[in-house]
Amino acid sequence: MRPEHNPKNKSDKYKRVHYLVCRLGLTVSDRMQEALVDLRRQAYQAPTPELEQLALKGFSEEEFVGAVKEVLCIWLHQEAVDQGGPAAPPWLLSFLRLALGATDILIPRPRAEDVFAGYEDCDDMRSLCKAAAARAAARLGFGAHSADFAPAVAGLLVYNRESRQKILEDALTLPVAEIASWQAA
């Protein structure tokens, strides 16, 4: 992102943040649903009847939305890292921090700060993605078997760069009128 992409005023910034968070959230939700459909398709290949039953379980709205929030927060962190981390332009880091805070408006629970509280021991992106996959699986209600089901959601954390970067680009470069019309739809 270049300096000319810095939103021009507060109203513009908030519209763009709203667009970014909603689009990322919908994308995570769609991909999570696809991952769970694939998990169900493969349930009959599970090594034990208990794991087969768990793979076929239903998910409450609270479980599904909690897992989406976990992944959404990590996507925003990954985007900040991809944009240069601490070396990224301050306006862009501020924009992404604002977006992270806005996730709490879109999905109130768990709070974004609570999501990040559990990742202090992650030293690199690989360990972060592994831990996030296990935590998303736990939020989906897999309990003691969360580590067994983490690979089902790991792809959402590993193979997302192109999607999230395109959404960030759109959020910062589309005309505000186009963003507003998308939000009204």
**pLDDT score for 34:** 97
**pLDDT score for 170:** 97
Amino acid at 10: K
**pLDDT score for 181:** 81
Q: Is the Cβ–Cβ distance between 181 and 19 less than 8 Å? A: no
CA–CA distances in Å: residue 67 to residues 2, 6, 28, 55, 92: 32, 31, 9, 15, 26
Residues in the chain with pLDDT values less than 50: none
User: Structure pTM?
Assistant: 0.95
**pLDDT score for 184:** 62
Query: What residue ranges do the domains of the chain occupy?
Result: 9-184
Type and span of the H or E element at 144:
none
Distance CA 168, CA 20 (A): 6
Distance CA 169, CA 184 (A): 20
Distance, first Cα to last Cα, the chain: 27
**pLDDT score for 3:** 77
**pLDDT score for 80:** 97
Per-residue pLDDT tens digits for 33-81: 999 999 999 999 999 999 999 999 999 999 999 999 999 999 999 999 9
